[in-house]
């Protein structure tokens, strides 16, 4: 795992000193070695966190005079791909060299063969072209700025040294809690889309882009037919999980597992410990009540290993928030980001360089409550349809009256489509907060295309009432999950740790995206087939417990009238004084936290304040 920065200028030479300064802003991503190539119009920089083959021969930029590679990530099937390259004189044991030789011989056509998480830039001096690419799930970040002067790219936004100049894109902080990767608050800086590449040529000065892998196109009628037999579900999923964990355990550096005590991280920990006995478990709890620590201890006891615990306190929470914001580049979405940073910092002190994480299982197997709510309501509508439209309309009116003010989701298929296309997952409780957020800024419909593609992938392939739910899972995999992967990468890399996500692997995508909905959701329970596999490894107290989502009691930590909102970034931007802002968030703790997160971000990135000098309380 590493950090990369570079630029290709069409006319003028790259400024080496500026490039080196920008590369240094990524030093936390790769403390083991810094390397760069600077020549004429081209600069390629790399900071390395040595995981596979730590020897100097595997340092980057990798290659010679005619071709060079800077690369961030892991190609898990690199040993299998290595056998495809005949008569090669290998100089390293690294996946970097395998990727380099594949690009040498096959160019962009090799991208669909890669099973892993990656973002890279490959310079070919013969064709005077620079190829950028990113893995199909978007696990590894890659940003770029392309204009008439050339292209600049980096693993993190801060390396561009640009102040935010598209503030209207911050609307989603209040509406959804996070800034979508499609609409960054920095003009001309874009995230390369997952599964896509960008090729920039000097002669002539032009660029081409394309997709080499699409999760929506993974949905396949023939594969669906193969998976109609329920007797295959558990054995095939278990086989894929075991194979993925095997791939993700490849490391020459100390490796550990994050364990919340929930089903996803604990199952991965169990599968990993079945293969290696030297994997410690890390957990961040909280002082007092409200965490998951007792479940993590149950998991560790069952697996026969020690649990390493750090406990969050209110003081620590607020002390870490500005630091975490700087690393994220964007306003904090998850209050538990501080907990993740806290436990990652402990793992770094212990010498850990790789942490296994359970991200992706909820999106793949229907683990969120809104997935199950949507399925139940759609089935209810299908049953009511037999009694005619009048009965259905009457029932919908009654249901809305009963649900009013109780915080329960109530939605029709049409409403669900609109909300999913806005990236909101479902019409959430707290609808007033959503309206305030969108009134506060302006609306964004960029997620419509993603929703349309997801719905089209399943329409006519599965029963009509299943298609919207399957599409919602796929949309969440490509939308909601991106915010989670963003934070996991930034926070772990802030502590020089590589986060690995075994659920997000090519064969598991192929399995889960083509699996019947009945294998995922049953009644009010999600992740049916995953839980059935987990029962072979874990006690029922872990498999069947309610989902908690890495909780931290942040609402107890919130001040009623945050001092930081006085005369700051939001006041200057909106013209609202502190009294008006306090009235705006009054009675809504979620909105208050989001305003604080936005204020801290603005002070760091718009005002240029040092994160260490910012005091929230």
pLDDT digits over 144-188, tens only? 999 999 999 999 999 999 999 988 888 778 877 888 888 899 999
| Per-residue pLDDT at 380 | 65
| Per-residue pLDDT at 415 | 56
Q: How far is CA 616 from CA 263, 475, 603, in A?
A: 34, 35, 11
Please give the Cα distance from 321 to 324 (Å, whole number). Answer: 5
pLDDT higher than 80, residue 395 = no
Nearest to 616 by CA among 601, 603, 600, 604: 600
Please give the Cα distance from 81 to 95 (Å, whole number). Answer: 9
| Per-residue pLDDT at 160 | 97
Task: Over range 268-296, report the average pLDDT.
Answer: 93
pLDDT higher than 50, residue 403 = no
| Per-residue pLDDT at 65 | 78
Q: Which residue has the tokens 């890399």?
A: 493
Please give the Cα distance from 12 to 265 (Å, whole number). Answer: 49
Longest dimension (CA), the chain: 75
Task: Over range 368-376, report the average pLDDT.
Answer: 84
Element (H, E) at 337: helix 337-349
Q: Could you tell me if 256 and 497 are in contact, meaning their C-beta atoms sit under 8 angstroms apart?
A: no
242 CB neighbour count, 10 Å cutoff: 15
pLDDT higher than 50, residue 241 = yes
| Per-residue pLDDT at 6 | 98
Q: Could you tell me if 425 and 473 are in contact, meaning their C-beta atoms sit under 8 angstroms apart?
A: no
Question: By percentage, how much of the chain surpasses pLDDT 70?
Answer: 89
Task: Over range 596-604, report the average pLDDT.
Answer: 97
pLDDT band at 617 (very low <50, low <70, confident <90, very high): confident
pTM of structure = 0.91
Q: Which residue has the tokens 């599409």?
A: 471
First to last CA, the chain: 35
Please give the Cα distance from 462 to 517 (Å, whole number). Answer: 9
Please give the Cα distance from 8 to 25 (Å, whole number). Answer: 19
| Per-residue pLDDT at 373 | 82
Nearest to 269 by CA among 312, 306, 232, 309: 306
Q: Could you tell me if 324 and 474 are in contact, meaning their C-beta atoms sit under 8 angstroms apart?
A: no
Nearest to 180 by CA among 536, 18, 423, 344: 423
- Mode of pairing for the β-strands spanning 196-201 and 129-134: antiparallel
pLDDT band at 290 (very low <50, low <70, confident <90, very high): confident
Q: How far is CA 261 from CA 73, 302, 563, in A?
A: 27, 11, 36
| Per-residue pLDDT at 470 | 94
Please give the Cα distance from 217 to 112 (Å, whole number). Answer: 13
Task: Over range 308-328, report the average pLDDT.
Answer: 96
Q: Dihedral of the CA atoms 214, 216, 220, 225 (nearest 10)?
A: 140
Task: Over range 590-603, report the average pLDDT.
Answer: 95
pLDDT higher than 90, residue 396 = no
Tokens of 160: 């561009």
pLDDT higher than 50, residue 555 = yes
Tokens of 295: 């479940």
Element (H, E) at 155: none
Q: No. of H helices and E strands in the chain?
A: 25, 17
| Per-residue pLDDT at 210 | 95
| Per-residue pLDDT at 439 | 43
Tens-digit pLDDT profile for residues 412-446: 555 555 556 556 555 444 444 544 454 444 444 56
pLDDT band at 603 (very low <50, low <70, confident <90, very high): very high
| Per-residue pLDDT at 409 | 41
- Per the prediction, the chain carries an average pLDDT of 89
Task: Over range 248-269, report the average pLDDT.
Answer: 96
Please give the Cα distance from 374 to 412 (Å, whole number). Answer: 9
* CATH tag for 2-213 (out of 3.40.640.10, 3.50.50.60, 3.60.20.10, 3.40.50.720): 3.60.20.10
Q: Where are the domains of the chain?
A: 2-213, 558-613
Higher pLDDT, 2 or 441: 2
Interacting residues of 425 by C-beta distance below 8 A, sequence separation 6+: 368, 370, 419, 472, 476, 480
pLDDT higher than 50, residue 225 = yes
Tens-digit pLDDT profile for residues 469-488: 999 999 999 988 999 999 99
| Per-residue pLDDT at 405 | 35
pLDDT band at 381 (very low <50, low <70, confident <90, very high): low
SS3 percent helix, strand, coil of the chain, rounded to 5, is 45, 15, 35
């Amino acid at each position: 795992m590493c950090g990369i920065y570079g630029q290709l200028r069409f006319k003028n030479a790259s400024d080496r000193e500026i490039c080196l300064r920008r590369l240094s802003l990524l030093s936390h991503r790769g403390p083991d070695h810094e390397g760069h190539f600077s020549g004429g119009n081209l600069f390629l920089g790399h900071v390395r966190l040595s995981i596979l083959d730590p020897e100097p021969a595997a340092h980057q930029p990798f290659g010679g005079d005619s071709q060079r590679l800077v690369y961030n990530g892991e190609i898990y099937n690199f040993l299998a791909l290595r056998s495809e390259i005949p008569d090669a004189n290998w100089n390293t044991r690294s996946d970097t060299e395998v990727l380099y030789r594949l690009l040498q011989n096959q160019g962009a056509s090799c991208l669909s063969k890669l099973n892993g998480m990656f973002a890279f830039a490959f310079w070919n001096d013969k064709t005077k072209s620079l190829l950028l690419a990113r893995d199909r799930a978007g696990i590894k970040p890659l940003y770029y700025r392309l204009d008439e002067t050339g292209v600049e790219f980096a693993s993190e936004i801060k390396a561009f040294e640009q102040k935010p100049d598209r503030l209207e894109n911050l609307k989603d902080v209040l509406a959804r809690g996070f800034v979508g990767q499609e609409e960054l608050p920095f003009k001309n800086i874009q995230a390369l889309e997952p599964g896509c590449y960008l090729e920039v040529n000097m002669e002539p000065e032009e660029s081409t882009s394309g997709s080499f892998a699409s999760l929506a196109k993974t949905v396949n009628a023939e594969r669906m037919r193969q998976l109609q037999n329920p007797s295959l579900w558990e054995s095939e999923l278990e086989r894929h999980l075991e194979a993925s964990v095997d791939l993700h355990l490849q490391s020459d550096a100390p490796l550990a597992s994050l364990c919340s005590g929930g089903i996803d991280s604990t199952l991965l920990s169990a599968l990993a410990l079945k293969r290696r006995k030297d994997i410690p478990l890390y957990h961040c709890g909280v002082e007092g009540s409200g965490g998951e620590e007792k479940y993590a201890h149950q998991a560790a006891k069952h697996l026969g290993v020690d649990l390493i615990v750090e406990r969050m306190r209110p003081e620590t929470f607020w002390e870490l928030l500005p630091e975490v914001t700087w690393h994220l580049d964007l306003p904090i979405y998850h209050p538990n980001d501080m907990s993740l940073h806290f436990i990652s910092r402990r793992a770094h002190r212990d010498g850990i360089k790789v942490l296994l994480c359970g991200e992706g299982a909820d999106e793949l197997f229907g683990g969120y409550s809104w997935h199950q709510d949507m399925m139940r309501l759609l089935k209810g509508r299908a049953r009511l349809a037999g009694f005619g439209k009048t009965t259905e309309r009457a029932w919908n009116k009654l249901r809305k009256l009963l649900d009013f003010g109780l915080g329960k989701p109530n939605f029709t298929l049409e409403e669900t489509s609109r909300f999913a296309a806005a990236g909101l997952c479902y019409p959430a409780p707290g609808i007033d907060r959503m309206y305030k957020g969108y009134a506060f800024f302006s609306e964004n419909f960029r997620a419509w295309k993603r929703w349309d593609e997801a719905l089209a992938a399943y329409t006519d392939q599965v029963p009509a009432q299943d298609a919207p739910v399957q599409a919602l899972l796929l949309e969440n995999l490509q939308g909601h999950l991106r915010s989670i992967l963003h934070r996991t990468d930034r926070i772990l890399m802030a502590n020089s740790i590589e986060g690995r996500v075994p659920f997000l692997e090519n064969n598991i995508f192929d399995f889960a995206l083509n699996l019947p909905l009945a294998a995922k959701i049953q009644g009010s329970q999600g992740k049916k087939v995953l839980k059935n596999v987990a029962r072979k490894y874990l006690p029922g107290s872990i498999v069947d417990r309610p989902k908690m989502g890495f909780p931290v009691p942040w609402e107890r930590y919130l001040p009623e009238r945050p001092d930081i909102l006085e005369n700051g970034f939001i006041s200057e931007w909106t013209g609202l004084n502190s009294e008006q802002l306090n009235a705006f968030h009054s009675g809504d703790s979620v909105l208050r936290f989001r305003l604080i997160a936005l204020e801290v971000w603005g002070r760091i990135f718009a005002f240029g304040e040092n994160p260490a000098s910012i005091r929230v309380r």
